[in-house]
Structure 1
């Protein structure tokens, strides 16, 4: 992959859906292509080897001798140059060139500012950084120029939440104005206590009835090491690397690249952590946090659909009301598995189905991951259905456990949907056409404009639904 391809990989909108893909996965995919660290072991005993290094320590050798030992991409060793004190030298091979770095240890390994618990992690992070700089520097420069906050993932994922805050502030403003008018009638102009933040906010905020609210609290950004996979909430691009990938607001949890954080206005809302919830979070990270086999959103929506909606005509094809879907999304983010999805709250079953599709659509890494996608497509191109089934089954073993378990559960459900196709009019092909762009977005999806060019994705998904018992036995 080169940066020109990445440049074309901007967020795209699924056909028939008002919701955009807010996470651009291309830098994540590029990170996967970076060389892996390969320590080169010293073949003879070295005296005075520091206890924090292993067999990769070669003692006193020249840079020429060290270079001759490194043959493959990502290979590295640690050496001691004659006359140097206070540091050792990390020598590694990248892009057919040999690079040398001063290497330090004070309880953690470091070359510059970033610190690591192991040398292997340091080299892995360094190789990713070098690979990004070599293959995506022009794109990263373009990314750094992005300044459209109103179209950021943060605004997309928290639209209703921000509107609710705006309404509360507007109500507070109205109440304060009424109070002031009442006091003026009595010829007594009150002296407001400017230390009372709620009163000050109510008096000074203007134009609050809108989806975009200008808050006056700055973010408390701190350099942060993110666990799992994370994306910048400002530009939507992957936070690459293995440590200190970006910054995070200590008050609201807003995550961003360091440069992107400089463009974020003073709109920190400290209760955001409670409302970010589950949408737009990496699937594996989410199930680890909840200690579940699958995301509870998937279980909850599918259970409700099977309880009262399997015979609904056009299930998953007919769109639910966008406002109700957004309301249910907010409830699931806020209340978790305690959110009410029953018929008294959401009579239209298409709202539940639409929320499930929205959850899957907003996954930063699709359910059928980028690594697995080519193997699935290759299997779908085989001539006989028997070979396709075997090939797809083998390809799905590449999925992370959380993705596999969720896909298996979803395919079992969709198989039950097609068993009611005489009433719901949804065949395996119909369902595959609906779900393929969400579950298996093609790498060149932006080039083909959505559905065109997804023939094999639809075919593979149709096979998974129809033969789910054999593929997922």
Structure 2
């Protein structure tokens, strides 16, 4: 499919712009050609006329009488059908034919799923849809057959932006001015000498003797939701116009990617969340958060564990003793607001249990648990095996089901808890004690509603205890 229009016709074309031949204007032209709504007023007064209709309401008339009144395409009226209950009838003329629709009102006007503040907007959108269905068949068929994501306008524009950032960097411009996190990653990979770690999802870039923080390239699906676009908008996958006046397509809540509903089904799992789209860090999907921050693990986990290991490994009852709820909430708000700049030093939070409690709270609020619901049953099955050697092999196999971001975070957490256990003489926290504390947070039951309350956690605790004790073998 050739998804590119002529320069002069592209709505986003500018003189001298490198963004040539990107958007296809054909569907936009078709929408402009669609007939406009023409309400036909009733010539006499209607008693008990609904307040949410205007003069286009004609009361009780037959479909034949209504058809005779509508003389041109786009003309419409509302009538009360004999025997109707709970709805009125919208009658309109399109392509020299009369069409009738059940019309409802519950504060907004609707015929099917789309809702409108005014009847005029409903009819305008309906006429565009009818016109597209009648005339845009060849374009829509080409869109449905378009599968080359690499040649999509989205990729074309982003390659150009990446190139611009690289040029800025080569001229000594501070790369931190780049607002697009995806562009930031591309510049690091292209302009800075680096090396690959053993984890192919993580790259550590080097400048001179210092490291830039780990950057990652986790796969993440887009979080598409039906969206009403204001003004003129184009699909970032196929390059065609998002026609209609409401619910024209879908938009990713994490990165802003816009597409037709059908096109969104073909977009690969390459969402690069924009930090501006995220609301804090607690309660955010783990993969989304690390993609947005370009880190191997959530910075909350790194920051809390670093502080705990710096001054809290000998604290008796670490992770079992609760910190003050008010201080935990205060630190949570600080991390949501200030991110990595949040201060959790002993001058601000002298009680290490507040830091430990905040880490547990972060893990508990993950919308998808650290040990995902898909991985949970496989871990339980592994924990039921007879020998410890069999359990270790089973757990390793089960953990391959985890998304990369979850796996790397769990690995880091288990390494930390293993170090906590090494201080058990003073902190009184054995691997079993820690597993008992963390099991409900890391491995909540997939369906608590069917368990009649909190289920037994015997096998979850056993699996975690094995992971803590044998973390070097399991996470090799």
Q: Which has the higher contact order (CA 8 A, sep 6+)?
A: 1
Q: TM-score if structure 1 supplies the norm length?
A: 0.47
